[in-house]
Amino acid sequence: MANINNNLEYINEEAKKNPSDFILKCEKRFENIIGDIAERIENEKGREIVMLAGPSSAGKTTTAKKLCEALNKKGIKTYVLSLDDFYLNRSDIPYLPDGTQDYETVDALDLDCFTECVNRLLKGETVNNPIYDFVTGKRSETEFNEITLGQEDIVIIEGLHALNPVITEKIQGKLLKIYINVSSRIYDNKGNIILNKRNMRFVRRMTRDYKFRASSVERTYQLWKNVTAGEDKYLFPYRDNADIKVNTIHLYEPCVLKSQALPLLSESEISKEYREDVKKLCKALEKFEDIDISLVPEDSLLREFLGQ
């Protein structure tokens, strides 16, 4: 991963001096990473499966989309599949000891269906891949994602479990494994951690959940414990299986997200067990200069959490 200046004072200086240039610099760094991966795939040639894994709010959806676009621009026909579309029907999702359903476990996926679909794709067959309806908790009975892979076509499969050997070892073809995450903390000049990696992903997710999933801050906190436990168990042990690791941090993001996150954190009804964490998070975000959300490019990875 390329070195970045993940220092509070540097971030604030850039945000005050010229926020547009700062944003451009951060976006360019990420675009260059995507371009390098696309070039590597182009040079390898041949039908290939790209497995793209990362924890919650790392930016898997946008990263997969951007890589797909970069490859298509090179004349390499590329498709994106989400492992989420291979969830079992809601009634068949395993349960945790506390009685809640465990959507983080690899066993929540229909692994037989996934394996059959991918291996048929690698043989050049036309496959109607499922589309999961999260409203009904079932796969759609009328909509499918029809794909036929040509000799040099690519399919990108993104999801929490995309590096899990339970999945990858059943695929009978060439794989390129990519792991993405917010992989840098933000420090001050004294070496104190201002925001850690999970802090930044939580702020991304909280903002997105409120905007797009009608989910309260309280609800995001309630889910976060199981989400991170699932990452610890089903993702992080396999991150070193990746051929490529990508740091999806955009250094200007705390300056933009604070305007969305602070009102949510300070104005929401929060249970006692989360209040101390809320205080710490608010205190950290208040240290950053403001950058207007309108300056964020429409195709930025951060738009996955901010919206247009």
Q: Tell me the pLDDT of the chain (308 aa) as tens digits.
A: 457 899 999 999 999 999 999 999 999 999 999 999 999 999 987 778 999 999 999 999 999 999 999 999 999 999 999 999 999 999 999 998 888 889 899 999 999 999 999 999 999 999 999 999 888 888 888 889 899 999 889 999 999 999 999 999 999 888 999 999 999 999 999 999 999 999 999 999 999 999 888 889 999 999 999 999 999 999 999 999 999 999 999 999 999 999 999 999 988 788 999 999 999 999 999 999 999 999 999 999 999 999 87
CA distances from 221 to 11, 227, 228, 253, 294 (A): 27, 10, 11, 20, 28
Full DSSP string of 239-282: GGG-SEEEE---TTHHHHHHHHHHHHHHHS---HHHHHHHHHHH
Q: Which amino acid is at 226?
A: N
Q: State how far the alpha carbon of 45 is from the alpha carbons of 25, 39, 79, 158, in Å.
A: 31, 10, 16, 20
Residue 213 pLDDT: 83
Per DSSP, 46 falls in state S
The pLDDT of residue 64 is 98
Beta strands in the chain (DSSP E): 48-53, 78-82, 126-133, 138-148, 154-158, 175-181, 186-187, 193-195, 244-247
What residues form DSSP beta bridges with 175? 49
Q: Is 62 helix (H, G, I), strand (E, B) or coil?
A: helix
Rg of the chain over Cα atoms, rounded to whole angstroms, equals 20
pLDDT in tens, 142-188: 889 899 999 889 999 999 999 999 999 999 888 999 999 999 999 99
Cα–Cα distance measured from residue 100 to residue 278, given in angstroms and rounded to the nearest whole number: 25
Instruction: Output the pLDDT for position 46.
Output: 76
- Give CATH for domain 8-306: 3.40.50.300
pLDDT single digits (tens) 204-242: 999 999 988 888 999 999 999 999 999 999 999 999 999
